[in-house]
Structure 1
Amino acid sequence: MPLHFFPAPAPAERSVLAALGSPTAVREARTSALRAATGPTSPELPLPVHVMDRATLESDSPTRLAGWRFLIRSGERAVAAADTRLTPDGWAFSHFFEGPYVTATEAALRQADGLAAPHQPRLLSVPGLYMLTLWLHGDPAADAGRGGPLATDLLVPIAPAPPGIAAHRPYPASELLPVLTRRLTPGQLPGPLLPA
């Protein structure tokens, strides 16, 4: 398997397991699929979530680690996701959610698993564009919480993608990042449409 998942911080995973074991947290979750799940549920496929926004573009680092996301599996498929965030007291459960990004992330991971070269999967969120990408980092042994995309990394926009950017098409970071940067920079013309 060419995807090498970096282990999530143990407190982040424990916080998700505790939330899954809490009837109150699951009952109050805004995910009917999680409430309706029969049988055991488990957090799998931990993905560090990095954010790229105007603030990071103006800093020394193009991204910042915002949390860890776990796909929540019930049976053969992911029915929801759980996000964690870093607090002054350490990693803590944030929320459960469902929707198109859950199934699209699972599909993007299956697609990436078929690539020949090994990669470390991460998520790159671009809130200003309402965009989420599967970031395939070329160094599987790198610390998943640090660093920005390398020019040779692959970025796979997850559906639904912004206009002009094809979902589920792997783009070299050197091709997609300049488009995203232009779209996030005030006063700049929007980035060009990318080939599908």
Structure 2
Amino acid sequence: MVLRVPETPEHARAAVRAVLDAPHRRPAPTQAGTDEPDAPGSPDADTHAPFSAVCPHRMFEIDLTDLAEGRGLDTARPVGWRWLVHDGAHTIGAVEVADVGGGHPVARFTEGPFTTCTDAAVATVRTLPQIERGYYELRLLHIPGLYTVALWLADLVGWQDLLVPLAPAPPGVQPLRPYPAEELAALLGSRGRRLAPTAPQP
């Protein structure tokens, strides 16, 4: 399987470097060790000892209303970029770079289960025999209205997109299970219809 990453913009890479270079904005090392950081494997990865910013991928958001009304991933909008932050061989967080327009990105270091679960999600999809010969773009999909984040494998040859929910997942959704995108969108849309406020009648 080929996981494609579009060329990352220079302003986003500069924002990542600024976060990792700022002592008050970056994490403290977990421990002093001799392990070398993982090779980024991408010309767009930035390394700052002892941290490595690796695996850049675009972030997308979709509104709960769009899912509830069955419009699916076509309405997902790009909102920025995310790099995983490694301390040695371990993911300890991520740097998210939000595109706010005007060429002035907003970058922040984030932690939590959605970040650390990403490695497990990538490892899961790499083992799937049905996509060994596929060609996918690695993305992240955020559904704020459901507090849901999923790894999004966008099929670049038009067969079938996959969504891999990260833990914690909403009730009825199995984390780290690769879902056909339409199946998971329908499942989340059904939940969204139960949660979305009812529009007032004319």
TM-score > 0.5 by shorter chain: yes
With the length of structure 1 as denominator, give the TM-score of the two structures: 0.78
| Shift in alpha-carbon separation, 1:109–1:96, aligned structure 2, 3 A | same
Q: Is the 8 A contact 2:5 2:138 kept in 1?
A: yes
Q: What is the match of residue 59 of structure 2?
A: 49
Note the 1:59-70 alignment, pairs <5 A.
61-70=74-83
Q: How many angstroms apart in 2 are the aligned matches of 1:182 and 1:67?
A: 27
Show the counterpart of 1:76: 89
Matches within 5 A, 1:1-196: 1-26=1-26, 34-37=27-30, 38=32, 39-54=49-64, 56=66, 61-115=74-128, 116=132, 117-139=134-156, 152-185=160-193, 186=196
| TM-score, length basis structure 2 | 0.76
CA distance in 2 between counterparts of 1:84 and 1:55 reads 25
Moved over 4 A (4+): 55-61
Does the aligned pair in 2 maintain the 1:15–1:91 contact within 8 Å?
no
What secondary structure, in the 3-state scheme, does the structure 1 residue paired with 2:117 have? Answer: helix
Unaligned runs of 5+ in 1: 27-33, 141-149, 189-196
- What code does the residue aligned with 2:90 have? R
**For residues 152 and 102 of structure 1, what CA distance do their matches in structure 2 show?**
25
Could you tell me how far 1:35 is from its partner in structure 2? 1.4
Give the Å deviation of 1:50.
Answer: 0.6
8 Å CA contact retained: 1:41, 1:72: yes
The size of the alignment, in residue pairs, is: 172
Tell me how far apart the structure 2 counterparts of residues 130 and 153 of structure 1 sit (CA, whole Å).
21
Deviation, structure 1 residue 91: 5.0
In structure 2, give the amino acid aligned to 1:36. P
- RMSD across aligned positions (CA): 2.4
Please list the CA deviations of residues 54-93 of structure 1 after superposition, one character each: whole Å capped at 9, or x if unmatched.
3655789521111111101121121111111112322524
- Given the superposition, is the C-alpha separation of residues 3 and 113 from structure 1 closer, same or farther in structure 2, using an over 3 Å criterion? farther
Return closer, same or farther for 1:6/1:91 CA change in 2, 3 Å cut-off: farther
Cα distance 1:92–1:187, how it changes in 2: closer, same or farther (>3 A)? closer
* Structure 2 residues not aligned, in runs of 5+: 33-48
Percent identity over the alignment? 35
Cα distance in 1 for residues equivalent to 2:63 and 2:18: 31
Distance 2:100 2:179 in 1: 33
Larger Rg: 2
What does the per-residue CA deviation read over 1:107-153, in whole Å, with 9 as the maximum and x for residues that have no partner?
A: 1012222331232110111111111000111117xxxxxxxxx7820
Q: Any idea what SS the aligned residue of 1:94 has?
A: strand
